[in-house]
């Protein structure tokens, strides 16, 4: 029976030590930083950011990690470097005064270089060693090697001195960055540095459809796992920002808390509570359907709750958005002034998709919003190919979800395009999809709102008329007429006709009630007359009976009196018929 033999865990002390760069995103890609005590190569074409990355490495090391550094330049003087990097937020003169940084410029004239068999870099080593000792440097930068070896054509001497330089830096125990120009078909001009260095970082400035994008790739990293993809990066007033590819593990949290859309009747359509916090909402529709207005109401509601909102606009300036929203009763200006609402407005054609993604990451990290609006996402996705657009949107949504940020994207579709124009790939990434559509009837164009889907909650399946008024946004109940859903003046006319019909019915009911009461009164009178007549007849009958009884008594009395007069006994008087019979027969 075979059993697996487990390899003992590597002690922490035997693992490769890292030196954090302090550059946003680079340490994440490099799994903690550059190899400590070793030399890393940063190569690329002119203008791709090699010197900035190298200087930021030593400057941030001095400021953030307390590790002094040395920067040896072969192309720029210390004064030039101080002016250049001051615009990026690095005060090199101050760092030099505090003995946290030593900047040295070595001038090399190609025509003055004489190749001899004894050519070596001893002079550089002496100068560099003095600079390291003067500040106790832990980090060293050489920028760039091409200038140092520009006059050498003897490849054997060049290769020997390159190896010697890298070995000397390693023996000094400093973490070093050496920059180099990219060669033809090779990472560097001499094709040797990438093999000698322990870590190789390739920078690239790529121009595609007249849009420039900078990218970074870790070509190799001895003894450490690292990200091997291409990563876009941005150079701005705060230095270098690199955007790692978002994780595809889909392990972000799912909140049950709700946030209002800013429209009470829309909240009622969404299970009466609004959107889930941390979800992504897509509002699609044609031009003029009210997408930006809906986004403005959502942003205003967030600010009124005391939450920060970051509004990315690609087609309107912030002042134009504030003015337009004021016309429908949404006062965004006050929220901008109190710092709860921040606009980030640029044309989508300013950057490539990757650079847009970097800027959004950076803006979110700086402002820490609870709500993000992108208006419209269709303008942004038009910059690249559909595949690139989906990749960018996926990574952006993953980033926002990982931060627990509720996002609303607006999406412009062409008139008559219908729901199919918002492609399935885009809509499948969205949690709640709201469609704004044009409703044309009787020569009028009105707006309608419908919730296509909303994950995790029950929602209305009805179309609501979407109204923009000077008092805000309102949704009207569905009005069904003979021809279907009615909007605008047709709805008003049909509603008026309906009210008139109701009034006619009410009047008819009133008349029927009057007629019924009249007939009831007539019947009651008839019944009263019949009762009176019946009582009269009963009284007459009672009187007749009384008269008959009186007459009977009178006749009986008269007979008794007559019998006495005739001398008849009581018996005869009691049985007059028999007496009369006896008298007839002669008895």
Burial status of residue 155 (CB atoms within 10 A of its CB: 0-12, 13-18, 19 or more)? exposed
Identify the pLDDT of residue 446: 81
pLDDT at 582 over 60: no
Confidence band of 387 (pLDDT split at 50, 70, 90) = confident
Confidence band of 443 (pLDDT split at 50, 70, 90) = low
Name residue, tokens 């008024």: 469
**More confident: 554 or 190:** 554
Arithmetic mean of pLDDT, 439-449: 77
Identify the pLDDT of residue 448: 86
In which region does residue 393 sit, left (phi positive, over 0), alpha (psi from -120 to 50) or beta (all else)?
A: alpha
Least confident among 36-45, 73-82, 186-195, 259-268: 186-195
- Evaluate whether 566 touches 583 at the Cβ level (below 8 Å): no
Reduce the DSSP state of residue 335 to 3 states and report it. Answer: helix
- Evaluate whether 76 touches 142 at the Cβ level (below 8 Å): no
Beta strands in 29-187 (DSSP E): 34-35, 39-44, 69-73, 101-105, 139-143, 175-181
- Residue 511 has a CB neighbour count (10 Å cut-off) of 10
Identify the pLDDT of residue 10: 43
Identify the pLDDT of residue 151: 58
pLDDT at 163 over 90: no
Identify the pLDDT of residue 229: 82
pLDDT at 244 over 90: no
- Evaluate whether 190 touches 147 at the Cβ level (below 8 Å): no
Arithmetic mean of pLDDT, 64-75: 92
Taking alpha carbons only, the member of 148, 140, 88 closest to residue 123 is 148
Taking alpha carbons only, the member of 65, 62, 51, 50 closest to residue 18 is 65
**More confident: 585 or 342:** 342
Q: Decide the pairing of beta strands 480-481 and 464-469.
A: unpaired
**Percent of the chain topping pLDDT 70:** 81
Identify the pLDDT of residue 94: 92
pLDDT at 579 over 70: no
CA distance 225 to 81: 34
Q: Which of 360-364, 503-507, 553-557 is most confident?
A: 360-364
Q: What is the mean pLDDT of the chain?
A: 81
- Evaluate whether 165 touches 159 at the Cβ level (below 8 Å): no
Confidence band of 152 (pLDDT split at 50, 70, 90) = low
- Evaluate whether 241 touches 351 at the Cβ level (below 8 Å): no
**More confident: 464 or 415:** 464
Paired residues of 234 in beta bridges: 241
Q: Which of 154-163, 252-261, 555-564 is most confident?
A: 252-261
**What's the CATH superfamily of 258-487?**
P-loop containing nucleotide triphosphate hydrolases (3.40.50.300)
Overall CATH class of domain 17-242: alpha beta
Arithmetic mean of pLDDT, 67-79: 91
pLDDT at 483 over 60: no
- Evaluate whether 69 touches 56 at the Cβ level (below 8 Å): no
Full DSSP string of 519-564: HHHHHHHHHHHHHHHHHHHHHHHHHHHHHHHHHHHHHHHHHHHHHH
CA distance 256 to 276: 6
Quote the tokens at residue 337. Answer: 């002034």
Identify the pLDDT of residue 341: 95
pLDDT at 587 over 50: no
Confidence band of 24 (pLDDT split at 50, 70, 90) = confident
Find the helix packing angle between 50-64 and 78-86, rounded to 10°. 80
- Residues listed for the chain: 587
Q: Decide the pairing of beta strands 309-313 and 371-375.
A: parallel
- Evaluate whether 41 touches 206 at the Cβ level (below 8 Å): no
Q: Decide the pairing of beta strands 432-441 and 280-285.
A: parallel
CA distance 485 to 487: 7
Phi, psi of 141 (to 5 degrees): -130, 135
- Residue 8 has a CB neighbour count (10 Å cut-off) of 5
Q: Which of 4-8, 121-125, 582-586 is most confident?
A: 121-125
């Amino acid at each position: 029976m075979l059993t697996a033999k487990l390899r003992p865990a590597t002690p922490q002390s035997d693992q490769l030590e890292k030196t954090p760069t302090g550059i946003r995103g680079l340490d994440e890609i490099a799994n903690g930083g550059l190899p400590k005590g070793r030399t890393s190569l940063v190569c690329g074409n002119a203008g791709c950011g090699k010197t900035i990355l190298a200087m930021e490495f030593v400057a941030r090391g001095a400021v953030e990690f307390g590790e002094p550094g040395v920067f040896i330049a072969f192309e720029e003087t210390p004064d030039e470097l101080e002016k250049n990097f001051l615009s990026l937020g690095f005060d090199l003169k101050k760092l030099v005064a505090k003995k946290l940084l030593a900047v040295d410029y070595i001038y090399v004239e190609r025509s003055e270089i004489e190749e001899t068999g004894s050519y070596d870099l001893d002079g550089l080593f002496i100068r560099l060693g003095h600079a390291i000792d003067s500040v106790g440097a832990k980090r060293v930068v050489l920028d760039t090697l091409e200038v140092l070896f520009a006059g050498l054509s003897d490849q054997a001497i060049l290769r020997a001195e390159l190896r010697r330089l890298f070995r000397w830096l390693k023996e000094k125990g400093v973490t070093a960055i050496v920059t180099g120009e990219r060669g033809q078909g090779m990472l560097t001009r001499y094709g040797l540095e990438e093999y000698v260095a322990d870590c190789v970082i390739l920078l690239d400035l790529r121009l595609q459809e007249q849009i420039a994008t900078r990218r970074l790739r870790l070509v190799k990293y001895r003894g450490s796992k690292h990200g091997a993809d291409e990563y876009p990066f941005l150079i701005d007033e705060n230095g270098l920002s690199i955007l790692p590819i978002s994780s595809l593990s889909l392990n972000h949290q799912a909140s049950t808390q709700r946030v209002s859309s800013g429209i009470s009747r829309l909240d009622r359509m969404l299970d009466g509570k609004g959107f889930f916090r941390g979800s992504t909402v897509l509002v699609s529709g044609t031009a003029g359907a009210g997408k930006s207005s809906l986004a403005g109401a959502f942003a205003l509601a967030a600010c009124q709750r005391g939450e920060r909102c970051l509004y990315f606009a690609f087609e309107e300036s912030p002042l134009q958005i504030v003015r337009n929203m004021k016309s429908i009763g949404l006062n965004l200006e006050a929220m901008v002034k109190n710092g709860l609402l921040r606009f980030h407005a640029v044309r989508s054609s300013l950057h490539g998709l990757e650079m847009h993604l970097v800027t959004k990451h950076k803006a979110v990290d700086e402002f820490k919003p609870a709500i993000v609006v992108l208006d419209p996402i269709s303008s942004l996705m038009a910059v690249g190919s559909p595949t690139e657009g989906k990749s960018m949107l996926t990574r952006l949504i993953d980033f926002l979800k990982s931060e627990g940020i509720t996002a609303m994207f607006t999406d412009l579709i062409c008139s008559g395009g219908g729901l199919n124009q918002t492609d399935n790939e885009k809509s499948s990434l969205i949690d709640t999809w709201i469609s704004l559509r044009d409703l044309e009837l009787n020569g009028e164009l009105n707006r309608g709102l419908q919730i296509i889907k909303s994950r995790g909650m029950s929602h209305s399946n009805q179309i609501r008329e979407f109204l923009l008024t000077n008092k805000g946004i309102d949704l009207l109940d569905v009005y069904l007429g003979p021809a279907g859903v009615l909007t605008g003046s047709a709805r008003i006319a049909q509603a008026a006709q309906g009210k008139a019909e109701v009034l006619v019915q009410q009047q008819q009911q009133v008349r029927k009630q009057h007629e019924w009461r009249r007939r009831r009164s007539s019947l009651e009178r008839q019944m009263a007359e019949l009762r009176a007549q019946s009582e009269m007849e009963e009284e007459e009958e009672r009187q007749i009976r009384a008269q008959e009884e009186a007459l009977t008594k009178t006749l009986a009395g008269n007979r008794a009196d007559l019998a006495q007069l005739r001398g008849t006994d009581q018996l005869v008087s009691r049985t007059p018929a028999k007496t009369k019979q006896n008298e007839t027969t002669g008895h």
